Structure 1
Amino acid sequence: MQGRVLIVAGSDSGGGAGIQADTKTVTALQGFAMTAITALTAQNTCGVHGVHPVPGDFIRQQIQVCMTDIGADVVKIGMLGDAPTIETVAQALEDFAPDVPLVVDPVMVAKGGHPLLAREAVTALKGRLITRATVITPNLPEAETLLGREVRTLKDMEAAADDLLALGPKAVLLKGGHLAAEEKLVDLLITAEGVTRFESGRVATTSTHGTGCTLASAVATGLAQGRDLTSAVSRAREYVLGAIRTAPGYGQGHGPLDHAHTVRPFERL
């Protein structure tokens, strides 16, 4: 086990996304996962049926006790919900993890369409967390919200990646899964040094719940284990692709991934 990842995100009762997907991912990649839960959701493959926010002082306490005892090599941010929670998390990180690399997945809408970030919180997200992020991992709808314009083509993606980088993060991993017109799945990793393009074949499946959470946590684990960003992204994409291909097919909606596809069965002596 190598690489300590503190995950600040919401809980998914259905186990496919959020904290549950994050901890499975970090563990399956042989890292050590800790959590600061920001919200409880009543959720399954068909959608989000309820959200119960966690009080800010308890979110801060979770971050504090993890950082002052175990410490973290990377912090991964997922669902935050609203501006006060963003402020709480940002201040806690400044107080207890000021120099720890930060992977920000700007979670805004659940797979089934339920909003997970208040519209008025977008400014706080940009000003308090995206500006200090090591890498942000938006999908195209999230990029559109952050930039206030449509991102519908590969050319739009290339322009959007530059503008997202201008918001202040050190790097942007812009995910192209929503470009249905593209035959291949294209993701762009952009830094001040340039753009790296990742391509893979699409998988015809409805088992895509939690792919964003999973990818961001896989990237965070790679960074926590000492990989450079390009290597961390490359392995993370391979891991997610394998998890989609071997998905168990559970549920009546967008099903979960097979986060354990890297894990060898325990053999009794």
Structure 2
Amino acid sequence: MENLMTPYKSVLTIAGSDSGGGAGIQADIKSISACGAFAASVITATTAQNTQGVLDIHAIPMAHLELQLEAVLSDIEFGAIKIGMLHSCEVIEVVKSKLEEYDVKNIVLDPVMVATSGNKLIADDAIDCLKEFLPKADLITPNIHEAELLIGHSIGLHNFETSAIEIGKRFNTSVLLKGGHLESSFSELTDILYEHGSGEIHKIFNPKIDTKNTHGTGCSLSSSIATFLCLGHSLEMAVRKGCAYVNEAIALGKNKTLGKGNAPINHFGL
């Protein structure tokens, strides 16, 4: 009798937990599931967090973090890895070591440093460690503020595209530079994808949506891109599909409310 068993298309997210459910691991699992893959998770830290901000960050002990990574990587084959909050050099070193040991592919790294609320999510000395880790990623997805921290100068409309290229060449990786924080009167938002291997530049346009309900957009975008890579799409197509998914989720959450602050995007169109 023919064996009809088929493996899940699986994505691993390595990130922090958001107790409010809008960002971090929780947003990643929702995005991966909504985009068609199975989500596994490794938690780097827990946060006391809601729609209004981050109240506290509690680091997961390094030994337990290492065991989480060992448990899933030794058992499950992943088509892509999404990496989010890496708040210390110790965390970065443990994650780097385990990913090298298991020779994983399709690493999408969201260089999370500052939350949308303005709360800092990384220790000062960890920024340099993060920079050293970036070349291990196949794609990084910084917003404007994170990109400015990475290259040390301001970014505006005049140098948006060249900054994406500069980051990619400096850190030897492909870059999706997100334009959501750019001051612009245009009705469209532009993201720039720089493909490091080919040197190609792709502009991705989506309609600008007037809403404050954008909690978790960065986490959701990087995890959805990882999902589409896992499903076999090219980098350009995975990025385009991920951007389209998040833009639709923002639109679907525009008229929703949750808590007293900035509500999350609507991952499932609920």
Does residue 260 (structure 1) correspond to residue 263 (structure 2)? The answer is no
Instruction: Give 1:180 shift.
Output: 2.2
> Aligned match of 1:231 in 234, 237, 240?
237
Q: Return 5+ residue gaps in structure 1 as ranges.
A: 264-269
Counterpart AA for 1:52: H
Does residue 157 (structure 1) correspond to residue 160 (structure 2)? The answer is yes
Structure 2 distance, partners of 1:100, 1:157, is 28
Does residue 112 (structure 1) correspond to residue 143 (structure 2)? The answer is no
Counterpart AA for 1:176: G
Structure 2 distance, partners of 1:149, 1:249, is 36
Instruction: Give 1:147 shift.
Output: 0.6
Q: Is the 8 A contact 1:132 1:168 kept in 2?
A: no
TM value normalised by structure 2 = 0.93
Structure 2 distance, partners of 1:56, 1:7, is 17
- Aligned-residue CA RMSD (Å): 1.4
Structure 1 distance, partners of 2:24, 2:185, is 28
Instruction: Give 1:15 shift.
Output: 0.3
Corresponding position of 1:176: 179
Q: Secondary structure at the match of 1:114?
A: coil
Percent identical across equivalent pairs?
A: 41
Counterpart AA for 1:190: Y
Q: Is the 8 A contact 1:223 1:232 kept in 2?
A: yes
Corresponding position of 1:47: 53
1:200-211 equivalence runs, <5 A = 200-211=206-217
Q: Return 5+ residue gaps in structure 2 as ranges.
A: 1-6
Q: Is the 8 A contact 1:3 1:32 kept in 2?
A: yes
Counterpart AA for 1:250: L
Instruction: Give 1:182 shift.
Output: 4.3
- How many residue pairs get matched? 259
Q: Secondary structure at the match of 2:192?
A: strand
Corresponding position of 1:267: none
Q: Secondary structure at the match of 1:115?
A: coil
Corresponding position of 2:126: 121
Q: Is the 8 A contact 2:16 2:47 kept in 1?
A: yes
Corresponding position of 1:195: 201
CA deviation vs aligned residue, 1:127-162 (integer Å, no higher than 9, x gap): 12x1111100000000000111111x2222112111
CA deviation vs aligned residue, 1:28-71 (integer Å, no higher than 9, x gap): 11101110100000101100011100011211111111111112
Corresponding position of 1:72: 78
Name the stretch that deviates more: 8-17 or 234-243: 234-243
Q: Is the 8 A contact 2:225 2:239 kept in 1?
A: yes
Moved over 2 A (4+): 167-170
TM value normalised by structure 1 = 0.93
Does residue 16 (structure 1) correspond to residue 19 (structure 2)? The answer is no
CA deviation vs aligned residue, 1:154-181 (integer Å, no higher than 9, x gap): 2221121111111334310000000122
Structure 1 distance, partners of 2:159, 2:30, is 33
1:127-142 equivalence runs, <5 A = 127-128=132-133, 130-142=134-146
Corresponding position of 2:108: 103
Corresponding position of 1:266: none
Instruction: Give 1:2 shift.
Output: 4.8
Name the stretch that deviates more: 200-209 or 246-255: 246-255
Structure 1 distance, partners of 2:38, 2:61, is 25
